[in-house]
Structure 1
Amino acid sequence: MPSSPTLIFMGIFFLESFTAMLQNVFMVAVLGRKWVRCHTLPAGDMIVACLASSRFCLHGMALLNNLLVSINFSSIVYYFNIPWEFINILTYWLTAWLAVFYCVKISSFSHAVFFWLKWRISRSVPRLLRGSLIISGVTVIPVATGNLIMQMIASQSSHGNCTLADRTQTFYRYFLLPNVVLVWLIPFLLFLVSTLLLMFSLHRHLRRMRDHRPGPCDPSTRAHTVALKSLAAFFVFYTSYFLSLIIAVNKIATLQDQWHWAWEVVTYAGICLHSSILVLSSPKLRKALKMMVWKAPEKRLFISSCQNQ
């Protein structure tokens, strides 16, 4: 029987995952309906829709993996780790392209490269999305191969062969771990550079606006302040998710087995909160959410009146 803290963290994790999945389903439904109706979608919304789809699958795979671990089906978790790795890498690339898109569209740099990117980025988004799928599929192959080799070596070393156990550790340390970190690091660095550039550009623009038109009630100043705060939260949450995964694969947390569920809560809290930020920062999604909230009481009143009749 799990201890009380474990049950509490399990409940928090499941509530967090279901909340994130509902948020991502909402984003996919709203943007996907518009995509089907208009046969087109703005480039930024296209990235957000694909990102929401991948995050829905990511949370679903995390739920499935943790359920298998909790019911002692750890032997088959390795096979479910392969699609989790693919979805995780895809999520990294989509998040990186979203940061690049915001950086190019919103930043006020006057360099010729930024002007060229502003002109090209919207038309390049479909190719970037297809490229992300291809890159994720290619880069997950060595990771999946390494996981399967480790499983085979570990199954044989469980019979008491210390040499195979040492080989497993050596293989993990010098082949699998650097490969996993490198696969995650490339899109994360792209995200990091784009986000820092955009934060610097917005901060400089905000300071320039305050110098020319000081006043706390200026609507443009308030809009840029909200954008800067959202971007800072975006940066913190995504960086915490990256660092959590790096710590997990390096097995730095000595109490990882005892505090597995607490670690899962910390790992997925960032992307769950960032999904909330995406919903609240998009005018389309905010409007759809308000309409859904307003229509829900009216629908309940209509159903109750029909039942009374």
Structure 2
Amino acid sequence: MSHATQRLTYADGIRQGFEYAMERDPKCFAIGQGLWSPWYVGNSMKDLDKKFGKERVIDTPVSELATTGAAVGAALNGYHPIVVHPRMDFMILAADQIVNQAAKWRHMLGGKVSPTITIRGIINRGGEQGAQHSQALHSWYAHIPGLRVLMPGTAADARDMLIAAAQSPDPVMYIDDRWCYELTEDVTVAADVDIRSIVPLVRRAGRDVTVAAASFSLKLALDAAEILAREGIDVEVIDVRQINPLDPALIVESAARTGRFVAVDGGWSTCGLAGELIACVAESVVPSKLKAPLARVTLPAAPAPTSAPLEKLYYPTARTVADRIRGLFA
């Protein structure tokens, strides 16, 4: 087996994931808004319409509900669509198709039929886009049984998790973040990926405090760990990766060992991923093993601002995360 590597950005990883899935599965197709555009989804689907034809890379009118409904119907009839929603905010318009249709059919039909569908929701924040274009709504969908939810935080995972989603018999929501698109790493060649193998991973080992995060929040956690390492604080960073179903075993083990835990999330606190991670630790770690209260870093409880100076205050940074972790040692 080849161990050759290549330098890959997160956005190129997504594109390679599409390419790998569509080359190997003639029933796999992409459908959504702006798929023929050179800018609408960044470089993450560049020239795929030229390679696979516009019959398999389908640029649709602006109707999230109709596009997703058509894809669910195609999936129930043996096709393997990947639906692309360039802004997660407007994917809300397809919520019935995702929550009441895709996520439910396998259960309601006794496992005899399952829509093999991937729903790609893109988080697209900042740049003074305002409250209706800046939301990370992953915790909404992670609440739904029957719907797998993936959040890649590295270039390799951006590629491999999309491959896993396209090959999964379960309906999958694949959530990528534009703030990750320039992240770069050396990766090995693409291969088939079993979605059941996507579990939390330690991205940085440490002994003093555990930090769990997913997607762009993973970068914040890793950067915060670098800041704190210069101060003698050794941070263990865990990449959650698949948030539904959530396998908390590694997170719980790490928190019990370090005695301190921080959850970092790009959504709001109320009923969010950070709260769920804290609950997993609180339910499983004996209180006597904890050296500090459990903590989290999330967005302020307010819609996103449009003003650039206010955005700098609104979005957490690596220093925000470092400050929160540092406070556990006071």
Q: Name the TM-score class by shorter chain.
A: under 0.3
- Name the one with the larger helix percent: 1
TM-score normalised per structure 1: 0.24
- Bigger radius of gyration, 1 or 2? 1
- Name the one with the larger strand percent: 2
Greater RCO, CA 8 A, separation 6+: 1
TM-score normalised per structure 2: 0.23
